[in-house]
Structure 1
Amino acid sequence: MILQNKNAVIYGAGGSLGGAVAKAFAAAGAKVFLTGPNHESLQKVADEIIALGGLAETAIVDAFDEAAINQHLQQMINSVGAVDISFNAVGVDVVQNVPLTEISAEDFVKPVTLTMQTRFMTAIAAAGVMMKQKSGVILSLTATPAGIGYPLTGGFGPACSGVESFSRTLASELGVYGIRVVNIRSGGSPDSRVFKSAIDAMPDVMDPIIKKMEADTMLKKLPLMADIANTAVFLASNLAGQITGVTIDVTGGTTAALNYRVNRLD
């Protein structure tokens, strides 16, 4: 139970990946505070955690509302005394599969602005609490387009790059307070709700897309949500006590090299 006695707040916990990370935190011993805009989806995750003997509470929190974020963290402090882990898994809509030469300025800039807004607000709110505690871990999540040129991803790539730069900069400022800031870069999990919905709706279209993404990896398989969640647990724990200011790549090697030309010979 490497997160025993830790208190973790998860923004976007009703989503598939946010929920997976929340469940992994709870399984590792943390008390998780699940936030998001939809009570039903949050409660579903909480019920699953509690059924397995974990500790979970839910709250409707707008992760784009600075006052709401701070108010919820104060409620956490009043209840359990500390905020040890903050993880933001809030998604934003992105216009993709359109060349940059054809995308509108608004559609390009909007996901960058919204992504940075919620990441900044939640991280800075947590930092304010953790600086007083002299401890804490702030985690964020990006994807493959942050590490390589990735065509037809619109503003998603720049948004991810912005999060990674912000994470490094924040880590450089907060390290003196004993706070670690780490980003996780995912390769896209085919078992996530977004991918599964697309696969169910357009199997003929998605099958070659998934195969191409798998071929791009060194390991010839994409990371599942459990891979991301397990990485988050490790990074939030004392086992990663000297890891900060970096992005941990969980893309199967995609951002180090596109390996679609390499295949097994046996």
Structure 2
Amino acid sequence: MKNLKDKVAVVFAASGEIAGAVARSFSAHGARVYVTARNLDAVKALAGDINADGGYAEAARVDALNETEIDNFLKQVVADNGKLDVVFNGIAAEYSEMGGRPPTTVATFRQFMAPMEKICGSQFLTSRVAAKYMMETGSEGTVLLLTSALSRSKLPNMAGITAASAAMEGLTRGMAAEWGGAGIKVICICPGAIMETKRISGWIEAAAENLHIPVEQLEAQYKVFDILKVGPTLQNVGETATFLASAPGVVFNSHIVDVDCGKLNIL
């Protein structure tokens, strides 16, 4: 079923695994997809895979923290298509950008603010520029944001990224309230730990080596709070994003949508 047939979708930070999965799903459901990132080679490869699978994708280098680049790119997308229907930003912050995981009493102000600036700042920029063009063209589109379950978790040495994750939820609700009159939906996707991603699997392997415990033991700790016997996959995230951007997904707006198959330790 082509839930996004004839839709025009832009995916920012598409060099990441989650954003890549979303772009693939958008295309599989009929959307014309534009994939962007600072790493042009990565998004060119993604676009090539999508086109080889029978979809339509174009790649471009866009820094999702540079409003001029964002604006110029979306302006061209609208000029080429006459509209903009869906935008997803998959940007994330690395622990290295926060100086690792220092205690809050040790972290510098810059380290604390780094995820706020990168995550919230980028989502603010891509969302507001997209909304402007959706309003100008009457697209009544969907703006999809990304956060993490840290917003509703209690973990030490994660103050900056936890605060940024919670801020994303507030930003979602505020923009949804502001742009709803123009028919624009704003929804935030919150995936659980996706074991197949390099981010999670790499962290588990490094932590297991550092703690001198088997990888399987650490994986089991990740899964101990799972309600079901299965966890989320990249495909699950992509399909969820597609549904939220589709006509039936209109029932979701201003919501934070968990994609985790249910977790006992997340509110």
- With the length of structure 2 as denominator, give the TM-score of the two structures: 0.90
1:120 alignment counterpart: 124
Q: CA deviation at 1:92?
A: 2.2
2:150 alignment counterpart: 145
Partner Cα distance (1:225, 1:101) in 2: 36
1:229 alignment counterpart: 238
Contact 2:191 2:260 in 1 (8 A): yes
Which has the higher mean CA deviation after the structures are superposed, 79-88 or 191-200?
191-200
Cα distance 1:222–1:156, how it changes in 2: closer, same or farther (>3 A)? farther
Q: Please tell me the residue identity of whatever aligns with 1:236.
A: A
2:34 alignment counterpart: 33
1:264 alignment counterpart: none
- With the length of structure 1 as denominator, give the TM-score of the two structures: 0.91
- Name the SS for the 1:62 alignment partner: coil
Q: How is 1:1-266 mapped onto 2 (pairs within 5 angstroms)?
A: 1-94=2-95, 95=98, 96-134=100-138, 135-199=140-204, 204=209, 206-254=215-263, 257-258=264-265
Q: Deviations over 1:85-134 (max 9, x none)?
A: 00000122333543323322221121112211101000000000111233
Identity %: 30
Q: Deviations over 1:35-67 (max 9, x none)?
A: 001121111111110111000001100111111
Cα distance 1:176–1:11, how it changes in 2: closer, same or farther (>3 A)? same
Partner Cα distance (2:162, 2:191) in 1: 12
Partner Cα distance (1:212, 1:144) in 2: 16
Partner Cα distance (2:133, 2:204) in 1: 41
Partner Cα distance (2:15, 2:113) in 1: 26
Partner Cα distance (1:7, 1:84) in 2: 5
Contact 2:44 2:60 in 1 (8 A): no
Contact 2:204 2:218 in 1 (8 A): no
- Number of residue pairs matched by the alignment: 257
Which has the higher mean CA deviation after the structures are superposed, 8-17 or 211-220?
211-220
**Ranges in structure 2 where 5+ consecutive residues have no aligned partner:** none
Partner Cα distance (1:184, 1:194) in 2: 18
Q: RMSD value over aligned CA atoms?
A: 1.8
Q: Please tell me the residue identity of whatever aligns with 1:56.
A: A
Contact 1:215 1:221 in 2 (8 A): no
Partner Cα distance (2:260, 2:103) in 1: 24
- Name the SS for the 1:152 alignment partner: coil
Q: Deviations over 1:59-90 (max 9, x none)?
A: 10011111110000011011111110000001
Cα distance 1:88–1:231, how it changes in 2: closer, same or farther (>3 A)? same
Contact 1:98 1:152 in 2 (8 A): yes
- Name the SS for the 2:159 alignment partner: coil
Which has the higher mean CA deviation after the structures are superposed, 92-101 or 222-231?
92-101
Partner Cα distance (1:46, 1:196) in 2: 25
1:262 alignment counterpart: none
Partner Cα distance (2:57, 2:252) in 1: 27
Which has the higher mean CA deviation after the structures are superposed, 220-229 or 134-143?
220-229
Contact 1:98 1:154 in 2 (8 A): no
Partner Cα distance (2:125, 2:48) in 1: 28
Which has the higher mean CA deviation after the structures are superposed, 93-102 or 11-20?
93-102
Contact 2:149 2:192 in 1 (8 A): yes
Q: CA deviation at 1:200?
A: 5.4
